[in-house]
Structure 1
Amino acid sequence: MSHIAVERNRRRQMNEHLKVLRSLTPGFYIKRGDQASIIGGAVEFIKELHLVLRSLEAKKKRRRISLSPSPSPRSLLPVTPPPEVPSSAVSRALELGACCSSPVADIEVKISGCNVILRTLSKRIPGQAARVISVLEKLSFEVLHLNISTMEDTVLYSFVIKIGLDCKLSVEDLALEVQKCFSQEVAH
């Protein structure tokens, strides 16, 4: 085969694989149809799936060990960063993030570029996502993306939020405000 035919075959295979990858990735992860957006969206989706997988593995391990009948949601959060993240990036992320834990919910806030990533892990509370969104909007944030992962009676909300011009909160303050939203619901 000539070099041109080999290259044409490689491009055809690449396009077919990209079509499959796009079909397997939920649409809200892919902003545009170009190759970089498809691959970037698939990477984000896989990261979310890894989080869910770790949570399920932790739950399975807890069931085997049976240390307590009702474990804290904190035990479902991953303890170590994914291996594909360099340690220098982890230390930078820790400087730009905050965590807030309680018996009701665990909150993690990180700055990612010009957006904020907010993750909450708690027992399932009906209407909680709407309440968190309401709190975020009152605090001058705009929700760009929300992913909800559930495992029996536990739910992981992953928000990507845009910082509004009027927002004057630190990541620590944001984590505490969202934590209050969960605590108030339990008090009712």
Structure 2
Amino acid sequence: MSHIAVERNRRRQMNEHLKVLRSLTPPFYIKRGDQASIIGGAIEFIKELHQVLQSLEGKKRRKSISPSPTTPSPKPLLLLPSSSTPSIETVKELGACCNSPVADVEAKISGSNVLLRTLSKRIPGQVIKIIQVLEKLEFEILHLNISSMEDTVLCSFVIKIGLECQLSVEELALQVQQCFCQDACGLLN
């Protein structure tokens, strides 16, 4: 086969693979139809699916190890020496998890932003309630991404930290967790 025929066959295969990749990726991940956008969108979608899978596996492990707790409790992801009070500039990343049978909430400080993730069953109006909690706490939402698979929903927020913010990541995770628990209590009554 000549070099031209081999190259033509390679391009045809690439185009077919890109069409399949685009058809498997939700449209909001792909901004434009060019090759780089299709591949970049597919990468983002796979990362989100990987996060959902890890969260579901963690939830499954927790359920098999111990019975479900009745009240959420914050669990720090990164322990810092108690003698120092870190500022946002001195700590690259600080985070907390707050898990319950209703939802898993994770908050991490990264630079001058907070990365907040919630994983729960689909609850009508829940995203709006989370946004209301964040606005009440005077956070500015820079980005929101919602992924769902069957009845599970993953919400990822990027939130700007205000200079006057006095709330710790543990308190933020607990505040968001409480809005899930209020809904669960409301459904039980």
TM-score (norm 1): 0.62
Shift of residue 157, structure 1, vs aligned partner: 2.5
Rounded to whole Å, the distance in 2 between the matches of 1:16 and 1:114 is 42
Bigger proportion of residues as helix: 1
C-alpha distance 131-158 of structure 1, shift in aligned 2 (>3 A): same
Mapped to 2, the partners of 1:116 and 1:59 lie a distance apart of 23
Match of 2:178 among 165, 179, 183: 183
Supply the AA of the counterpart residue of 1:95.
K
1:29-68 deviation digits (Å, cap 9, x = unpaired): 11222222211111121122223333444555567xx444
Q: Check the 8 A contact 2:115/2:157 in 1, yes or no.
A: yes
CA contact (8 A) 2:133 2:176 kept: yes
**Partner in structure 2 of residue 40 of structure 1:** 40
Aligned with 2:145: secondary structure? Answer: strand
| Contact in 2 for aligned 1:107/1:175 (Cα 8 Å) | no
The amino acid that maps onto 1:130 is I
Shift of 1:99: 1.8
Is 1:148–1:156's contact at 8 Å kept on the other side of the alignment? yes
8 Å contact kept, 2:144–2:157? yes
Gaps of 5+ in 1: 80-93
1:95 equivalenced with 2:88 (yes/no): no
How far apart, in 1, do the equivalents of 2:176 and 2:61 lie? 30
Q: 1:11/1:57 Cα in 2 relative to 1: closer, same or farther (>3 Å)?
A: same
Letter in 1 for 2:140: S
Partner of 1:131: 129
Matches within 5 A, 1:97-116: 97-103=94-100, 105-110=103-108
Amino acid at match of 2:176: C
Tell me by how many angstroms 1:110 deviates.
4.4
In the alignment, is the contact (CA less than 8 A) between 1:117 and 1:158 conserved in 2? no
Determine the C-alpha separation between the residues in 2 that align with 1:148 and 1:168: 33
**Distance in 2 of aligned mates of 1:41 and 1:169:** 36
Provide the aligned C-alpha RMSD in A: 4.0
Shift of 1:176: 3.0
Which residue does the alignment assign to 1:157?
Answer: 154
Following superposition, the deviation at residue 4 of structure 1 comes to 1.4
Deviations 1:40-98 (A, max 9, x none): 111121122223333444555567xx4445368x9xxxx9xxxxxxxxxxxxxx93342
Partner of 2:82: none
- State whether residues 148 and 154 of structure 2, in contact with CA within 8 Å, keep that contact through their aligned partners in structure 1: yes
Matched residues in 1 for 2:168 and 2:128: separation? 20
Distance (whole Å) between structure 2 residues aligned to residue 41 and residue 125 of structure 1: 27
In the alignment, the residues of structure 2 paired with residue 35 and residue 42 of structure 1 have an alpha-carbon distance, to the nearest angstrom, of: 11
Specify the alignment match of 1:147 in structure 2.
147
